Structure 1
Amino acid sequence: MKRFATLMLAFALVLGAFSAAQAADIKAKGVWAFDFSWLDSGDYTSADDDGNSDDDFTASQRFRTQIDIIASESLKGVVFFEIGNTIWGRAASSGTDQGGALGADGRTVEVRRSYIDWIVPNTDLKVRMGIQGLSLPGAVAPSSPVLDDDVAGLTLSYAINDTVGVTALWARPADTNSGNSGNSQQDEADVFALIVPVTLDGFKITPYGVYASVGKDASFSGSTNGGWEFGQGMLSMAETIGGGIDSSSDTYGAWWGGVAFEMSAFAPFSLKLDAIYGSKTADDDAESAERAGWLVAALAEYQLDMVKPGILAWYGSGEDDDITDGSERMPSISPTGWGVTSFGFPGSVYRQDTYFGLNGAGTWAVGLQLADITFMENLSHVFRVVYMQGTNDADSIKGNSAAITAFAPASGEVFLTDEDSAIEVNFDTTYKIYENLSLVVEMGWIKLDMDEDTWGSDDYSDAKKLVFNFIYEF
């Protein structure tokens, strides 16, 4: 009996050791965001002009959580869920039950990211594979004016030393008909990038290069014509007017070269700079589908005790008067986080933004920013005023009814010619109610001044917003 008990104890110890070897630590973090917003003329038309009644106030919420399943310092898995955006009172949107109406049985659960991180044994090479958030380098805004989105891919990162690192990535944003069955033979899109961050004392310089290949049948939105749907960031003017990618070219190629620069060596003065050139090429018989251009943005700031004043500026190349020879604006893939402002561009803390554009292509701008305004504990403000003007030749629009229809101001994208301008004003306030709970109040105003001779009308309303966001982070 004693021998049997000893054997059972040994067996239990073996099982315990095996179970411990298979165990993983589970960690969760995330954010609840609640939005109570008043928005007027987000499409730059008043209720009287478009014939619709006022519907300015909305309430919505969103929940995001990231779960890390950690096996060791060298291996972990990550899954990132999102519930919402759920608009209060909204039963359905595009066939999906939002769960905001009476009964609240929502089915809007999304898997935003699902990947594993691991280190190649006996090396310092870090590998991330799966659906992940990918962003090219950006200094002026939190992310790149070319790419910042969730996409399936593979990322390799290696620190050469304390100063220099290197990251290589491959992403597949589209494979419309996997396996090449049926008639879709050019249906994949692939993005490759190489990033080399260099960190010095008081300086950070990050050069990078990107190449993308896309077949004419690759579709990002389910449309039969396929094409680059990234906020119209890849389409030429001729393709936008035509409704999608030019199918006369079997495969398109695009490349970008850029650098993100940050200087803090002369603190309290700091300087941030982004410079990018991008080009989308096509076959010789699809010249009007080509698109190439550049963008430079800068932010100079000076930290004082209770405020950080700064000057923001950018310049993006614009279209010439002949749309048949391609476009002269910088192409982009999916710049969802170039938050230089919190109303016109994607800089809001939650959802009420991007009512002007995704990046600065086709415009130049200069603005004054007062950040980190603090007069009392747990309360801070940001004030910003930006003047913008187009760099696109007005003759690319004048007299062209199809171009006027395709590029007329609307929510999400405003095409400014060199005869048009806009002013945006932001005043945003953050109050920390608790350490993990903040109230963010955002006020925004966009004034458009469109040339009547170019567009046939200058009757555009001012866009205005007042937003109350409650953000609980854990």
Structure 2
Amino acid sequence: MPRFRIAALFLVAACCAAAAASAATVAMYGDFRVQGTFFSNQNYTGWNATGTQTEDTLNIWQRLRLHVDFASGEHLAFRLGLRVNNETWGHGTLTAANPSPAVEPYQCYLQFTVPETRVTVTAGYQPLSLPHTAVFYDSVVLGADSGNSDAAALVVSAPLIDERLSVTAGYARLVDTNRTYDTTTTQVGDELDFAFLTLPVTLSGAQVTPWGAVAILGRSASLPGSMGNSLLSASSFAAPSAFANNQNAALWTGFALTAELPFPVKVYADGVYGDAFAADRHRNRRHGWFADAALEYTGFAAFAPQLLGWWGSGEDAALADGSERLPAVNTEWGPRGSFLFNADQDLTQASMNTTPQGSKGLVLNFDRISLVPRLTSLVAFSYAAGTNSPAGLRKAVALTGGPGHYATMGQDLAEGERLCSVAWEHAYALTDAVNLIAETGFAHGEGFRASIWGRRMVHQAGDAWQAALGLIYRF
């Protein structure tokens, strides 16, 4: 067993012993899952996003999440989260010989109530997500992906008017490229800082949460690839040093609404507008909007039909004026059940990773199907189309080095490009703690443009198929 694993186990044991000595209560819980997945024609080609590698259609995945909560009364708690992250059998951590270190901390934060108040403070590495409605899984601007994409943050929340109105404010440092010292004696902006404010309002039969956020990006900050794709215009993605200002601001405003109607129907809606780097050169600006809405009928005991839709602004034909897609920091948005998106599927490698910005679509979903004892199922039919100008997307792909760098065929959609998919998900309770999971997905793409992606990529495109069988133990 690698030294790091032993050290992690000793750390948990020591923390539990210390908690017991100080009369704190300790709760340990989490989940373990193992699965086999067959996935044919990922990215609709069977290649990686750039078309330089061929897929392996069968993988066996394994992961572990462990939470250790230490609580001293009702007003003071600390969480330590450890994980063996998603890995395939025979690779990395799960090799037969010389495995790489496995256990890593992925949550570590303190939560307490300020004495004599109802103000709650959460400080440390924690799940951080902007407001969104439940049927769309997570935020299109900044999502936590069920704790897989946490952030180092300070969050303060407090009720304002009884339980009907509250406020939450937070600050996170998402990127600090050079950490304590810059590389020379000349100071540069190498951070991405993020702050937000939410005002949840609870009314009779409804909850609405208006929110706003601001990010400050340093010109010399090194962004992870996916963050650069969703936050930057094509021009600044291709040449980050092209920013004229050392610090640039991005602003967002939005809302999340959930309402129960007098008859058995629930309404969900989200809207957001974002404008990033407007004070810099025009070609570096990225601004746009995104909206979604859903109806859920709650009158059936055996299943819940849902109709979900979305629309996001797309690129225009020019790059000189920047990007017209919604800027985002960490998009984890997805309609419930859709195979096109990461939508909180139980198993790993379970979607086509479509980009919501610059697209529109509908999902018809039959959720919580419970016709057989101990078996819960979901069936979802999805359709998506592009709202990006073909000329604008073609120029962006050419400028950023080809398909798969800034934009990917089958994920970033131009006008005239369409996707449809079907997903089946089933969970059978073998015991109260162990579920047998079966997932199947099919996706078909039409209208992929050779002028954008190249004839080689488009000629290779075909239907995608996925099937997975796994076990989840929750403890």
TM-score band by shorter chain is: 0.7 to 0.9
Distance in structure 2 (CA, Å) of the matches to 1:350 and 1:200: 36
Match of 2:317 in 1: 321
User: What's the counterpart of residue 55 of structure 1?
Assistant: 56
Match of 1:197 in 2: 200
Letter in 1 for 2:288: G
Normalised by the size of structure 1, how large is the TM-score? 0.86
Matches of 1:311 and 1:249 in 2, distance apart? 44
Residue aligning to 1:122: 116
Residue in structure 2 matched with residue 10 of structure 1 by the alignment: none
Shift of the 472–337 alpha-carbon distance from structure 1 to 2, 3 Å rule, reads: farther
Note if contact 1:291-1:327 (Cα within 8 Å) is conserved in structure 2. yes
Structure 2, unmatched stretches of 5+, are 1-18, 145-149
CA contact (8 A) 2:196 2:213 kept: yes
Between stretches 398-407 and 133-142, larger displacement belongs to 398-407
CA deviations on 1:368-412 (whole Å, 9 max, x unpaired) are 111111211111211111111110111214577715953469879
What corresponds to 2:106 in structure 1? 112
Cα distance, 1:100 vs structure 2:
1.2
Give 2:221's aligned residue: 218
C-alpha distance in 2 between matches for 1:373 and 1:130: 39
> Displacement, 1:351?
1.6
How far apart in 1 are the matches of 2:267 and 2:277?
33
Deviations 1:273-324 (A, max 9, x none): 011111101444x211110000110111112132211211100000100111
Determine the C-alpha separation between the residues in 1 that align with 2:408 and 2:428: 29
In 2, the alpha carbon distance for the partners of 1:148 and 1:254 equals 17
Q: Tell me whether 170-179 or 127-136 shows the greater mean CA deviation.
A: 170-179
- Structure 2 counterpart SS, 1:72: coil
Q: Which stretch shows the higher mean deviation, 54-63 or 443-452?
A: 443-452
Counting aligned pairs with the same residue, the percent is 28
Instruction: Report whether the alignment pairs 1:137 with 2:131.
Output: yes
How big is each residue's C-alpha offset from its partner over 1:172-195, in whole Å with a ceiling of 9 and x where there is no partner? Answer: 101122334333520122111001
Q: Deviations over 1:197-255 (max 9, x none)?
A: 1112210101100011010112234xxxxxx7426110112234x26563433222111
Does residue 165 of structure 2 align to residue 164 of structure 1?
yes
Give the distance between the partners of 1:386 and 1:446, measured in 2 at CA: 9
CA positional deviation for 1:109? 1.6
2:291–2:312 Cα contact (<8 Å) kept: yes
Structure 1 pair 346–193 and aligned structure 2 pair: CA distance change class (3 A)? same
Unaligned runs of 5+ in 1: 1-18, 91-97, 222-227
**Structure 2: which amino acid aligns with 1:220?**
L
Q: Deviations over 1:112-162 (max 9, x none)?
A: 110000110100000000010101011141221111131101000101211
Residue 414 (1) aligns with residue 411 (2): yes
Structure 2 CA distance for aligned equivalents of residues 403 and 124 of structure 1? 52
- Distance across 2 between alignment mates of 1:399 and 1:319: 11
Deviates more, 1:103-112 or 1:75-84: 103-112
Aligned length: 440
2:350 aligned with 1:353, yes or no? yes
Aligned residue identity for 2:231 = M
| Change in CA separation of 1:470 and 1:380 when aligned onto 2, cut-off 3 Å | same
> Structure 1 residues 181, 431: closer, same or farther in 2, change over 3 A?
same
1:53 CA drift (Å)? 6.5
Q: Which amino acid aligns with 1:153?
A: A
Task: State the match for 2:143 in structure 1.
Answer: 148
How far apart, in 2, do the equivalents of 1:373 and 1:243 lie?
A: 49
Instruction: Evaluate the alpha carbon distance shift between residue 319 and residue 89 of structure 1 in structure 2; reply closer, same or farther with a 3 A threshold.
Output: same
Work out whether residues 234 and 400 of structure 2, in 8 Å CA contact, stay in contact via their aligned partners in 1: no
Tell me the distance in 1 between the aligned counterparts of 2:337 and 2:178. Answer: 38
Contact kept? 1:399, 1:454, Cα under 8 Å? no
The residue correspondences of 1:455-474 to structure 2 (distance < 5 A) are 455=452, 456-457=454-455, 458-459=458-459, 460-474=461-475
Larger Rg: 1
Q: Distance in 2 between matches of 1:114 and 1:416?
A: 38
Question: Partner letter of residue 122 of structure 1?
Answer: E
